[in-house]
Structure 1
């Protein structure tokens, strides 16, 4: 499969519903700007063949507002983007040899590659949030909140942050719509940007056709748990999970966490927000067990 096809397949595996966002592909290397002008600040760089999602109300003369596969949002020259029909690139999910589940070894507590569980954040509340993201203990059955399902996490709420508890864990089942690298240079990982030290974002939906961004729940593999899985001969790298998980149903187990850093991009906490790309700020983060299953 070509790089172009792979990029689009990774972005949108199945045909979208009527409400799904449009997809474009870069036909030329381009700069991602903070505004619809070449004089606006540089947000990132896009390469030929990169797939992007068009953001609503994001068309200005000569520019399109897009979201990249790394969840960066910005403006790019319209002439460098070709709108595509993802159904033309539909392919069945690849055969997999993925063996998953809970690593026999828990992630080690304390520092990981010289990065403490609080990361390198300066603000106290961010350090506390990072400690939740970097939890190393395996949740026990008594820790599981059985009321938490994918449907429950997707349900609209006027008090989203208070619905669940970040001292509890959950086990949910969903369709793996997309797997992408986590953010560049996050404080939780001491701003290390290489693949080994970046989280893996897994987007869960209720079905292959339920593709609207604001109906997705984010669950994350952290570098600590990736390393623990590897010690148990289980490969949780972003690249492997893209190849083995996308287009499959999966059961995910791990710790609940309300990621307050993404309240402004979540439909439940900012209804109708132009930049929303998820349903809720609640996540399973970190994932401690991951299993491919048959369609429920």
Structure 2
């Protein structure tokens, strides 16, 4: 068929029209795509009525194992209110679940024998308390237990036997994991719990670690035991962290597949830790001048500092107490130690 001038003129127009239509289809999909991990750095009051998963305790699980596990994760936080909790530190926790842990290494719920299943059901009804140090906290990724939501997510709390001045790294003991669920978040929040005031570090969505400016607090966590067999392989479980993977996760990242989930209560058991190293004050005299008011600064840009195990970055907006000033530097208190911050990196802040 002959090629006409009209067809020649319409060809580019048709191509342009097709490209525009395609872009109109793609743009809504891009806008609707959820970010991988929430930007949340702190607990807050959430409106559960706006959540399409609120009444689906099984979430979006597709297998009987997944349905059972998700229903346990999402159980009513008030259902165990009358049961006395079993009190444990991290070592006692690992001993308590150790026998069944040894029998179920690498297994899933569907693989358990009837006797193991009976013991599992017994333990998962147990209300417990765990005492330890909250080194790291972060918003969990979208999971089937929460219908894949980014906004309604679990909070992961990594609890260690000892306080640490650095994020989890190779050579450190692996933690016990505890999780706050969306259904329990408001209860914990209304109790006055703020993770920024408890954890030494908060993980950002890119999995970098943001220091909170104080040591890990010693806390007591109350909640139900849960065996998270989704994380029962050798890559997840081990007594010592061996590496930080390319995706920035530390592996193994937990000492056991057992966790406290859901968390129903968090209590603080200590103060903010040791005071910075400063010279002892001179004995007071009758004519002594009053002590100067405490001074604080706010960082206007990220600052890299040295710590005993390497380096860490203090984020923009972090408030620090000033110890002294010297030339172009400001000596500040950070995690019980004195660090020097460039004077041009900070501004004076009200306490």
For normalisation by structure 1, the TM-score amounts to 0.52
1:276 aligned partner: 252
Per the alignment, in what secondary structure is the counterpart of residue 128 of structure 2? strand
1:114 deviates by 2.5
1:250 aligned partner: 219
Counterpart-to-counterpart distance in 1, 2:124 and 2:252: 23
Please list every run of 5 or more consecutive structure 2 residues that lacks an aligned counterpart in the other structure: 1-36, 43-47, 105-118, 201-215, 246-250, 274-351
Q: Does 1:132 align with 2:132?
A: no
The one of 180, 187, 191 equivalent to 2:144 is: 187
Per the alignment, in what secondary structure is the counterpart of residue 245 of structure 1? coil
Q: How many residue pairs end up in the alignment?
A: 182
C-alpha change, 1:235 and 1:168, in structure 2 (3 Å) is same
1:101 aligned partner: none
Per the alignment, in what secondary structure is the counterpart of residue 123 of structure 2? coil
1:235 deviates by 5.6
Higher RCO (C-alpha under 8 Å, 6+ residues apart): 1
Counterpart-to-counterpart distance in 1, 2:255 and 2:176: 6
Query: What per-residue deviation string (whole Å, max 9, x for no partner) do you get for residues 100-152 of structure 1?
Result: xxxxxxxx9xx982211111111111011001111113323535234x43212
1:201 deviates by 0.7
Q: Give the CA RMSD over aligned residues.
A: 3.8
The one of 205, 227, 230 equivalent to 2:186 is: 227
Kept in 1: contact 2:177–2:254 (CA 8 A): yes
1:277 deviates by 1.4
1:120 aligned partner: 60
For normalisation by structure 2, the TM-score amounts to 0.45
| Bigger Rg over Cα | 2
Kept in 2: contact 1:260–1:281 (CA 8 A): yes
1:226 deviates by 0.8
The one of 187, 192, 198 equivalent to 2:153 is: 198
Please list every run of 5 or more consecutive structure 1 residues that lacks an aligned counterpart in the other structure: 1-69, 71-97, 99-107
Per the alignment, in what secondary structure is the counterpart of residue 288 of structure 1? strand
